Structure 1
Amino acid sequence: MARIMVLMLLSLSLISILPLLTTAMFHVKGCVYCDTCRAGFETNATFYIQGATVGIRCQDRKTMNQVFYTEGVTDSTGTYNIIVENDHHDHICKTVLVKSPIAWCNTPDPGRNRSSIVLSHYKNGVLNHLHYANSMGYLKDEPLPQCHQLLQYYLSDSDI
């Protein structure tokens, strides 16, 4: 009797995760900011950009040809939520900055203008459909006046 119960529970658990394994849909989430100090990272003076356009690009691993592309726009908190259908297990996928709606903060930070993401469940053990991408940023044309003092604060604990 116990063996039958264990088999039934195992069957039910497999049935409940089967849709996750067969449905290849991913929810990619991340944010876009304006680096007002041109520091190359988020600071206390950073603000998040509403209306920024973000793309998701996947390339074939062997040919490097683009095989998938879609776009989304950030909300009032600078966060984008993009749904991607299909598993991209043999592709190199990245989120990329496309366009900033702010004229004085529209230069992509070369070190923070893209983020690699894994859009696959293939042999990696990841069942979650929500995938977070690293924050990406644009550089303000001119740093804010208080940035020098703010950056000194950030560097005060370093050994530089």
Structure 2
Amino acid sequence: MAMAVQGSRHSDFFVEGEVYCDTCRAGFVTNVTTAIQGARVRLECRHYMSASGSVERSAEGTTDATGHYRMELVEVDNRGAELVCAVALLSSPVPECHEMEVGRDRAPVTLVQDVGLATMVRRANPLGFLQTMLARYADTDTRYVDTKMRHL
């Protein structure tokens, strides 16, 4: 009986990842990036041949205190190979860290069962918001900020 229950859940996928604040605007996770709690993300899947680009499957998630999110897509059929999926940033609750940068605002995810993975959990690359320049230098002398801002 336990096998039947486990088998019925086999077609469910879990997509997870992290959202962070790029405090130094490096373009990647560093030792000074911080996790964002309450950031919203959306998983969208489109058929790779769709002329309209309409979304066939979607799910939304919110990050926890560690910046981690986890979304479940129930009953993904074998057409997963025909879908092009990506997790995208929606919003950040942090006013000084809400700027999205093209290229780091989304991460592709494969929702295919027979790719050699032993789990139905799919990990997306970390997604990051950029901290505003003024917030970055908030604790410094304002003359320094003004000089730096003029040269950017």
- Asked if these proteins are the same fold (TM beyond 0.5), I'd say yes
In the alignment, which of 28, 47, 54 is matched to residue 15 of structure 2? 28
Q: Identify which range, 25-34 or 101-110, moves more after superposition.
A: 101-110
Gaps of 5+ in 2: 138-152
Post-superposition offset of 1:18: 9.7
| Cα-Cα RMSD | 2.2
Distance 1:22 1:78 in 2: 27
Q: Is the 8 A contact 2:11 2:75 kept in 1?
A: yes
Q: 1:20 to 1:39 in 2, by over 3 A?
A: farther
In the alignment, which of 127, 131, 136 is matched to residue 127 of structure 2? 136
> How high is the sequence identity, in percent, across the aligned residues?
33
Q: 1:126 to 1:47 in 2, by over 3 A?
A: same
In the alignment, which of 71, 80, 89 is matched to residue 82 of structure 1? 71
In the alignment, which of 122, 125, 129 is matched to residue 116 of structure 2? 125
Letter in 2 for 1:102: V
Deviations 1:84-122 (A, max 9, x none): 11322210000000010011111112221111001121x
Q: 1:19 to 1:105 in 2, by over 3 A?
A: same
Q: Is the 8 A contact 2:45 2:85 kept in 1?
A: yes
In the alignment, which of 24, 29, 40 is matched to residue 37 of structure 1? 24
SS in 2 for 1:59: strand
Post-superposition offset of 1:34: 0.4
Partner of 2:43: 56
Letter in 2 for 1:111: G
Q: Is the 8 A contact 1:95 1:116 kept in 2?
A: yes
Partner of 1:67: 56
The alignment of Structure 1 onto Structure 2 pairs a total of residues equal to 130
Distance 2:26 2:41 in 1: 21
SS in 1 for 2:13: strand
Q: Is the 8 A contact 2:10 2:120 kept in 1?
A: no
Letter in 2 for 1:43: T
Q: Identify which range, 46-55 or 84-93, moves more after superposition.
A: 84-93
Gaps of 5+ in 1: 1-14, 146-160
TM-score of the pair, normalised by structure 1 = 0.73
Letter in 1 for 2:108: S
Runs of 4 or more, structure 1, over 3 Å off, are 15-22
Q: Is the 8 A contact 1:30 1:133 kept in 2?
A: yes
Post-superposition offset of 1:67: 0.8
Post-superposition offset of 1:141: 0.9
